[in-house]
Amino acid sequence: MAATVVRNAEWMIGWNAATGRHEYLRDADLAFEGDRIVFVGKGYRGAAEREIDGRGRMVMPGLVNIHSHPASEPFNKGLMEERGSTKLGMSSLYEFMLLVRPPPEAARAGALFAVSELLRSGVTTFTDYSLPRPHWMQDLAGTGIRACLAPSFRSARWSTPDGHSVRYDWDEGMGREAMAAALELVDGANTHNSGRLFGMVAPAQVDTCSAELLQAAVAAAKQRNAPIQLHAAQSVVEFREMTTRHGKTPIEWLADIGFLYDGAIIGHGIFIDEHSQIRWPYEGDIERLASSGTSVAHCPAIFGRRGILLQNFGKYRRRGINIGLGTDTFPHNFIDEMRWAAVLCKVSASNVEATSLAEIFHAATVGGAKALKRDDIGRLAVGCKADLSLVDLRHPTMQPLRDPLKSLVFSGLERPITDVFVDGKAVVAEGRVLTIDLPAVMEAMNRGQRQALENAPSLDYAKRPVEEIFPMTLETGR
């Protein structure tokens, strides 16, 4: 098998194993053969069956997204951007999210749409944290992306009867059965013939899973050497609920039941004891996360839109917590999420030096890879997966060109990304996603959102009309 070589790349983001950091390389070559990188550096002299001219281009490692809900979130566009419950800590989880339920066929289309956005923004590995859906593995495998299937399960459902309180309905049997089905999917992903799927054990939320269910989930994850993820410390309501139930913060309770360890990911880890909206009298949550080796999935956009901040990314990092990034919402534009992460950290700390783009980029690549228990992705190094993208340095958004990563994240976003490879195969070329029929997917997604909105009032506690639940930005004139 002969190699593909990107020759004389003007800029490249290489991995320095000695320092454990990414670094810029100039006028470098990168070669890959099959699904693996075989050369990174100057002057590749091996055989090549295909040459890509690297002049005017930057070669960048594929980005790693450790938290997303692609089958549901695309349908919230135009609805949820400015919607949260002011009497439930600004969260949209209890009053609004439950009202938008696209039919299964539409959910498939929404997921493909989300994957197209992820690929387009340079993501080569993503985590699909969702309720199991038909054709899940087949659909994801067909897109060419590397996907971590995270089929979610829980032992309680929440609802609000009035917009200011939350009720939990428990059914332990439901949780156990759903976990058994989820583990079958995890095992199926780990042995899928595409070689690009793998599995995560994914209990849904700290306040909807019993201690027994979470402990069984940890045992199943350890047995498989699979990562495990749980939503926790994600809302004020959840923090109050857990302290009411147990007299412990959500993170403290998880530490005590044995959930925190180096294979665990907490999405989103915002409402810890020292958060300014909490002000719990005892501090220890950051230390609990850091000393256990637990990772945090940081998804700033969806929270930032509701006035909620993780306080703060830089502090978590300095205290030793591994962080990966995720797109918990639409758009599934990972570069945009990186920009939110950088800016909101500085805003929450009132300090321009609270974090750096280098630190954000580390989280977006190797931080995420570590959380997913992978050391073969998120970096350009010999032996790693050939997951990478090419950035057009001549794109107007990259000009003037001095520091290409800064130009990309603060100015260009996904626009200058022209080509994306996963396992050495092209999935985006000339800025177009090759593996997804976008017009068909968009039509099905629009139809699905209309259907979901027809049902929304019947699911609302007050049976409000759609226009009242999700007001339009402007009134319609005559």
Using CB under 5 A as the criterion, which residues of the chain lie in contact with Zn ion when the complex forms?
Answer: 328
Which CB contacts under 8 angstroms, 24+ apart, belong to 457-464? 459/98, 459/99, 459/101, 460/99, 461/95, 461/159, 461/160, 461/161, 461/162, 461/163, 462/163
User: To the nearest whole angstrom, how small is the minimum distance from the Cβ of residue 371 to Zn ion?
Assistant: 14
In whole angstroms, give the CA distance from residue 113 to residue 436.
Answer: 8
Among positive and negative, which fits the CA dihedral 83, 88, 93, 97?
negative
Cβ proximity of 337 and 326 under 8 Å: yes
Q: Which two structure tokens, joined as six digits, stand for 175?
A: 């949780």
β pairing state of 425-429 and 57-61 = unpaired
SS3 99: helix
User: To the nearest whole angstrom, how small is the minimum distance from the Cβ of residue 234 to Zn ion?
Assistant: 7
In whole angstroms, give the CA distance from residue 297 to residue 295.
Answer: 7
Question: 273 or 328: whose CB is closer to Zn ion?
Answer: 328
- The H or E element that residue 404 is part of is helix 404-407
In whole angstroms, give the CA distance from residue 423 to residue 352.
Answer: 37
User: To the nearest whole angstrom, how small is the minimum distance from the Cβ of residue 10 to Zn ion?
Assistant: 38
User: To the nearest whole angstrom, how small is the minimum distance from the Cβ of residue 268 to Zn ion?
Assistant: 7
In whole angstroms, give the CA distance from residue 218 to residue 202.
Answer: 10
Question: 166 or 270: whose CB is closer to Zn ion?
Answer: 270
User: To the nearest whole angstrom, how small is the minimum distance from the Cβ of residue 54 to Zn ion?
Assistant: 37
Let me know how long the chain is: 478
In whole angstroms, give the CA distance from residue 395 to residue 400.
Answer: 10
Question: 143 or 235: whose CB is closer to Zn ion?
Answer: 235
Question: 80 or 433: whose CB is closer to Zn ion?
Answer: 80
The CB-nearest residue to Zn ion is: 328
User: To the nearest whole angstrom, how small is the minimum distance from the Cβ of residue 267 to Zn ion?
Assistant: 5
Alpha helices in 334-375 (DSSP H): 334-349, 357-362, 368-371
Question: 116 or 152: whose CB is closer to Zn ion?
Answer: 152
DSSP 8-state code for residue 385: B
- The H or E element that residue 125 is part of is strand 123-130
Beta bridge partners of 25: 12
SS3 52: strand
Question: 139 or 328: whose CB is closer to Zn ion?
Answer: 328
Question: 25 or 100: whose CB is closer to Zn ion?
Answer: 100
User: To the nearest whole angstrom, how small is the minimum distance from the Cβ of residue 68 to Zn ion?
Assistant: 8
Please report, as a single letter, which amino acid is at residue 88: L
Question: 148 or 390: whose CB is closer to Zn ion?
Answer: 148
User: To the nearest whole angstrom, how small is the minimum distance from the Cβ of residue 69 to Zn ion?
Assistant: 6
Question: 93 or 391: whose CB is closer to Zn ion?
Answer: 93
Alpha helices in 60-135 (DSSP H): 104-120
Residue owning tokens 């995270």: 150
User: To the nearest whole angstrom, how small is the minimum distance from the Cβ of residue 475 to Zn ion?
Assistant: 33
User: To the nearest whole angstrom, how small is the minimum distance from the Cβ of residue 328 to Zn ion?
Assistant: 4
Please report, as a single letter, which amino acid is at residue 240: R
Question: 265 or 391: whose CB is closer to Zn ion?
Answer: 265
Question: 328 or 359: whose CB is closer to Zn ion?
Answer: 328
SS3 398: helix
Question: 122 or 326: whose CB is closer to Zn ion?
Answer: 326
CA dihedral 357, 359, 364, 369 (to 10 degrees): 160
Q: Which two structure tokens, joined as six digits, stand for 159?
A: 């609802």
User: To the nearest whole angstrom, how small is the minimum distance from the Cβ of residue 129 to Zn ion?
Assistant: 6
User: To the nearest whole angstrom, how small is the minimum distance from the Cβ of residue 205 to Zn ion?
Assistant: 9
Per DSSP (E only), the strands in 259-356 are 264-268, 295-298, 322-327
Question: 95 or 328: whose CB is closer to Zn ion?
Answer: 328
DSSP 8-state code for residue 397: G
Phi then psi for 9, rounded to 5 degrees? -60, 130
User: To the nearest whole angstrom, how small is the minimum distance from the Cβ of residue 259 to Zn ion?
Assistant: 17
